[in-house]
């Protein structure tokens, strides 16, 4: 029996990573799309052969669905996910799962109290190189991870549209791309319990008038004409955990430094170390320090993410990136902002 799926929000993330992979999945019937921009929903429906609706409520009232993807602005992730849960559907919600920890906790608790699944779209967890490195950590091959560094830095890469308006996004590069590196490092460290956060958010470069830069532009027209920019262009943090481990995070849309927008993660353990991009392992052989460069087959990790979600829907097992973990990541992101605003360390 096919899993009937609906997609809420037909912007860039839906087109790039959700719709096509649902359409190609042999066990999925892509049944419907919904968007507050009905014209955009209609065009998407014509492209993928689905029904089209002007709201999630309308779609859920009219369609018999098994699961939905929530691909809307960050500010509506929780409300729409809760609505889907109340209708008895499984949910794949895009990152970040919420704008703040209280919202995230509502969704986490609702999922925990139901028989439905909530999976957070932490897509980089499904990369082949990430899976390889995380597997080494989980097997104990690197010992205990006590320190990790992670960064994703764009020299000039501010997206145009709703991303720069905190009412819709909840923050700048940390919420947009930093969430990925924070999540990856924390997950590969074994998801230790956060203890304290010291963070600083800067807006020193953007908005800019730099020449020769092609900006990523949101499909939605919201905030394009207003041009609101009230979020950071660089965020950094120092996070401690109750097991004594430490994590540092850096993320930027604009910085006067080298372009380095690959997902960089470095892990330091008692039995060895590891890094992403390049995928490497650091250890000793016969008492000598050795660096091993590893090669793994590349995969379409968004396709893998969608396949994992559908498998969880079918088998009823918990997803790799569940609501409880998503809530912890949002809590750390919020603590970075609160620390920056107060100038103080935030205890969690």
Determine the Cα–Cα distance for residues 249 and 265; give it in Å rounded to an integer. 9
Question: Does position 241 have pLDDT exceeding 90, yes or no?
Answer: yes
Question: Where do the domains of the chain lie?
Answer: 3-122, 128-298
Under 8 Å between Cβ of 21 and 302? yes
- pLDDT digit string, tens, across residues 190-209: 999 999 999 999 999 999 99
Question: Does position 257 have pLDDT exceeding 80, yes or no?
Answer: yes
pLDDT band for position 342 (cuts 50, 70, 90): very high
Determine the Cα–Cα distance for residues 34 and 196; give it in Å rounded to an integer. 40
Question: Does position 112 have pLDDT exceeding 80, yes or no?
Answer: yes
Length in residues, the chain = 348
pLDDT band for position 248 (cuts 50, 70, 90): very high
Q: What mean pLDDT value characterizes the chain?
A: 96
- pLDDT digit string, tens, across residues 48-107: 999 999 999 999 999 999 999 999 999 999 999 999 999 999 999 999 999 999 999 999
Considering only CA atoms, which of 197, 182, 325, 326 is closest in space to residue 265? 182
CATH architecture of the domain covering 3-122: 3-Layer(aba) Sandwich (3.40)
Predicted pLDDT of residue 261: 82
Under 8 Å between Cβ of 228 and 164? yes
Show Cβ contacts of residue 321 under 8 Å, excluding neighbours closer than 6 positions. Answer: 119, 120, 121, 122, 125, 183, 187
Sign, CA dihedral 98-100-101-105, equals: negative
Question: Does position 215 have pLDDT exceeding 90, yes or no?
Answer: no
Predicted pLDDT of residue 313: 98
pLDDT band for position 324 (cuts 50, 70, 90): very high
Q: Are strands 28-34 and 3-8 parallel, antiparallel or unpaired?
A: parallel
Question: Does position 283 have pLDDT exceeding 90, yes or no?
Answer: yes
Predicted pLDDT of residue 285: 93
- Would you give the end-to-end CA distance of the chain in angstroms? 45
Indicate the DSSP class of residue 76: G
Predicted pLDDT of residue 83: 98
Sort 335 into a burial class: Cβ within 10 Å, 0-12 / 13-18 / 19+.
Answer: buried
Rg (CA), the chain: 20
pTM of the predicted protein model:
0.96
Question: Does position 10 have pLDDT exceeding 80, yes or no?
Answer: yes
Predicted pLDDT of residue 260: 83
For residue 224, how many C-alpha atoms fall within 13 Å in the half-sphere facing its CB? 8
Q: Does domain 128-298 have CATH number 3.30.360.10?
A: yes
Report residue 124 CA to chain centroid gap.
8
Helix axis angle for 128-138 and 179-188, nearest 10°, is 30
Rounded to the nearest 10 degrees, how much is the dihedral formed by the CA atoms of 157, 159, 160, 162?
-150
Determine the Cα–Cα distance for residues 319 and 119; give it in Å rounded to an integer. 6
- pLDDT digit string, tens, across residues 118-163: 999 999 999 999 999 999 999 999 999 999 999 999 999 999 999 9
Helix axis angle for 101-112 and 77-86, nearest 10°, is 10
In terms of phi and psi (left: phi > 0; alpha: psi -120 to 50; beta: otherwise), the region of 221 is: alpha
Cβ atoms within 10 Å, residue 308: 19
Cβ atoms within 10 Å, residue 187: 21
Under 8 Å between Cβ of 51 and 32? yes
Considering only CA atoms, which of 2, 254, 304 is closest in space to residue 131? 304
The DSSP H or E segment spanning 69 is strand 67-70
pLDDT band for position 213 (cuts 50, 70, 90): confident
- pLDDT digit string, tens, across residues 296-314: 998 999 999 999 999 999 9
- 3-class DSSP state of 55: coil
Question: Does position 343 have pLDDT exceeding 80, yes or no?
Answer: yes
Q: Are strands 346-347 and 288-293 parallel, antiparallel or unpaired?
A: unpaired
In terms of phi and psi (left: phi > 0; alpha: psi -120 to 50; beta: otherwise), the region of 286 is: left
């Amino acid at each position: 029996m096919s899993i009937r799926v609906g997609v809420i929000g037909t912007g860039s993330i839906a087109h790039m990573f959700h719709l096509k992979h649902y359409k190609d999945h042999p066990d999925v019937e892509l049944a419907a799309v919904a968007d507050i921009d009905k014209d955009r929903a209609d065009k998407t429906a014509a492209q993928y052969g689905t029904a089209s609706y002007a709201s999630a409520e309308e779609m859920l009232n009219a369609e018999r669905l098994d699961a939905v993807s929530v691909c809307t602005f960050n500010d509506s992730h929780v409300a729409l996910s809760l609505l889907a849960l109340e209708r008895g559907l499984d949910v794949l919600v895009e990152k970040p799962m919420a704008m703040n920890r209280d919202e995230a906790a509502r969704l986490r608790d609702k999922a925990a109290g139901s028989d439905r699944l909530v999976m957070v779209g932490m897509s980089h967890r499904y990369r082949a190189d990430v899976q390889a490195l995380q597997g080494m950590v989980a097997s104990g091959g690197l010992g205990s991870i006590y320190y990790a560094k992670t960064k994703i830095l764009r020299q000039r890469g501010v997206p145009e549209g709703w991303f720069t308006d905190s009412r819709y996004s909840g923050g700048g590069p940390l919420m947009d791309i930093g969430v990925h590196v924070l999540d990856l490092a924390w997950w590969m460290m074994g998801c230790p319990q956060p203890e304290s956060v010291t963070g600083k958010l800067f807006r020193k470069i953007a908005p800019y008038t730099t020449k020769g830069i092609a900006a990523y532009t949101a499909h939605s027209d919201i905030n394009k004409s207003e041009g609101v920019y009230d979020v950071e262009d660089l965020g950094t943090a120092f996070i401690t955990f109750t097991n004594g481990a430490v994590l540092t995070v850096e993320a930027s849309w604009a910085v006067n430094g080298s372009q380095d927008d690959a997902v960089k993660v470095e892990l330091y353990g008692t039995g060895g170390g590891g890094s992403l991009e390049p995928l490497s392992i650091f250890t000793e052989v016969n008492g000598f320090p050795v660096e091993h460069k590893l090669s793994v087959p590349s995969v379409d990790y968004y396709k893998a993410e969608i396949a994992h979600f559908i498998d969880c829907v079918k088998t009823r097992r918990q997803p790799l990136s569940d609501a409880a973990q998503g809530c912890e990541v949002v809590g750390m992101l919020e603590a970075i902002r609160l620390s920056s605003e107060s100038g103080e360390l935030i205890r969690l």
